[in-house]
Amino acid sequence: MRVAAAADLHCGVSGAPEMSRILYGVQDAADVLVLGGDLTNLGLLEEGAALLEALTALTIPVAAVLGNHDHETGHAAELTQLLRDGGVVMLQDEAWEHRGVGFAGVKGFGVGFSPHRLTPFGEQAIKDFVDVAVREAAALDHQLAGLATRHRVVVLHYAPIPATLKGEPWGIHPFLGDSLLAEVADRHGADVIVHGHAHSGAAEGRTEGGIRVLNVSRQVLHQTPGARGYVTFEVPED
């Protein structure tokens, strides 16, 4: 299966033509498209409708997770439902199997990377903050545990490893990802993990278990002259 992946589209209210340009040719290049969050700029339903206008013109299935920008105005649930009603597979709550390949995904959260990952100790605010990340990882764990497929693609917004953050200011690395996401993927197994969020990060790395990790942020992909707004890779079908 040929998979295309992109993230950080940041679609605006009038962004449908731009989205079509970014995704030009994707249905010829791939069998499925996955989107790693920040689908919209401010999480407005009008922005989601503009993105959906571009996506519904595609003839291949699309699976996605939300990003932090999609939560900005407090309409994440409504945005999710809008996209789902428009035919986009939203992975946050459940995994998806397509042609023998499993797809699992969550937004994730930023609490840092082992051995310096933030722990739930001290103030209640810290405990609440870490709990968000724990619940995101638990949702991913649940999805992967329920997949019967041998081959899996994990779709995230926040980074699961620090290697793909290289290029971002080091001081904000802990807020850009969570190593618990990688631990969950390594435990269950996956062929590829894709994420966004790190606009100035590096394109590729690997988890400790050897899973290939791709930073598919549109801004990272455009660092290469002549690059498209998405990257493609192949995954064997069961």
What is the domain-level CATH number for residue 209? 3.60.21.10
CA distance to 9, 31, 38, 170, 184, per residue, from 143 (Å) = 25, 22, 21, 31, 10
pLDDT at residue 224, rounded to an integer: 72
Determine the structural domain holding residue 38 and report its residue range: 2-234
pLDDT at residue 223, rounded to an integer: 82
d(CA 130, CA 117): 9
CA distance to 122, 177, 206, per residue, from 190 (Å) = 35, 18, 11
Global pTM exceeds 0.95? yes
pLDDT at residue 192, rounded to an integer: 98
Structurally, how many domains does the chain consist of?
A: 1
Parts of the chain with a pLDDT under 50 = none
